[in-house]
Amino acid sequence: MNFHINQQFKSLQTDLDEIISNFNSFDVGFGTGNRNSVKKIDLPTLKIVVKSFKIPILINQIVYKYFRKSKAKRSFEYANKLSELKINTPTPIAYLENFSWFGLQKSFYICEFLDYDLTYRELIHQPDYPNYENILKAFTRFTFELHQKGVLFLDHSPGNTLIVKDQNTYHFYLVDLNRMKFKELSFEERMKNFSRLTPKKEMIEIMSKEYAKLYNKPFDLVYEKMWFYTIKFQYKFYRKKRFKRWLKKSR
């Protein structure tokens, strides 16, 4: 077992050991799905979030033991990297990896719980959300800041940015961190990074206008590229869903 804890939270090690050992006994939290389980757990002095990654398929068990960092370890390291870059993410506390002689088994990432107000998803489903357009513009500025600092957040999707309202100011926090690249980004990579966020043309238009101003590019060019990658992603997404439905019926 490899258990790495942020020195700031060393006093919690006994509590964290117990939580990991009894993880299944805690009430189901939020974001629990077929692949991973995410639970909010209250400690006496701190609220934390524990993400349990499912056991990888056989080949990946070997890969994650010998050739590649686990999702839990990457989440922890990327959270620290973001903090160094002054990009918000819930404070990383620890990660744990369980290995067999064969390869990686269960792994966990632990961070502080963030009491947030909304995510990008609310803007998609509630176009009358208070201050809707200003939040969308602020989110675009946040994404531009990521790009300028060389952060390519590969899971830049509706539920993976938590939004905290502070009077008329909005603060953005990245979560689900295990897929990132740190590099100088091309224009195409920047535009493609918006593709998973929304299928709504009016939202793309608002974001395109704001990004074009920040990046000093013509609005038409930014909008065309952003919408192109959005359509491309939506096509692949729904084609995959149709295939899964067909596969289920054919069994």
Query: Architecture of domain 2-112 in CATH?
Result: 2-Layer Sandwich (3.30)
**Structure token pair of residue 224:** 């065309």
Residue 242 pLDDT: 61
Q: How far is 137 from 205, CA to CA, in rounded Å? A: 11
Residue 249 pLDDT: 59
pLDDT category of residue 24 using cuts at 50, 70 and 90: confident
User: Per residue in 51-62, pLDDT tens?
Assistant: 999 999 999 999
Q: How far is 70 from 56, CA to CA, in rounded Å? A: 10
Question: Three-state DSSP class for 50?
Answer: strand
Among 101-110, 174-183, 201-210, 230-239, the least confident range: 230-239
DSSP 101-117: SSSEEEEEEEEE----S
Residue 161 pLDDT: 97
pLDDT category of residue 244 using cuts at 50, 70 and 90: low
User: Per residue in 164-198, pLDDT tens?
Assistant: 999 889 999 999 999 999 999 999 999 999 999 99
Q: Which residue has the higher pLDDT, 236 or 144?
A: 144
Residue 210 CA: distances (Å) to CA of 4, 37, 62, 85 = 41, 36, 45, 22
pLDDT category of residue 126 using cuts at 50, 70 and 90: very high
Identify the CATH assignment for 118-241 out of 3.30.420, 3.40.50, 1.10.510, 3.30.450.
1.10.510
Q: Are the CB atoms for 4 and 76 separated by under 8 Å?
A: yes
Q: Number of C-alpha atoms within 13 angstroms, CB side, residue 69? A: 14
The structural domains of the chain, with segments of one domain joined by +, span 2-112, 118-241
pTM of the full structure? 0.91
pLDDT category of residue 108 using cuts at 50, 70 and 90: very high
Among 31-45, 101-115, 150-164, 176-190, the least confident range: 31-45
The residue among 162, 15, 153 whose CA lies nearest residue 93 is: 15
What proportion of the chain, given as a percentage, has pLDDT over 90? 85
Residue 168 pLDDT: 86
pLDDT category of residue 26 using cuts at 50, 70 and 90: confident
- Return mean pLDDT, the chain: 92
CB under 8 Å to 232, separation ≥6 — which residues?
195
Q: How far is 17 from 20, CA to CA, in rounded Å? A: 5
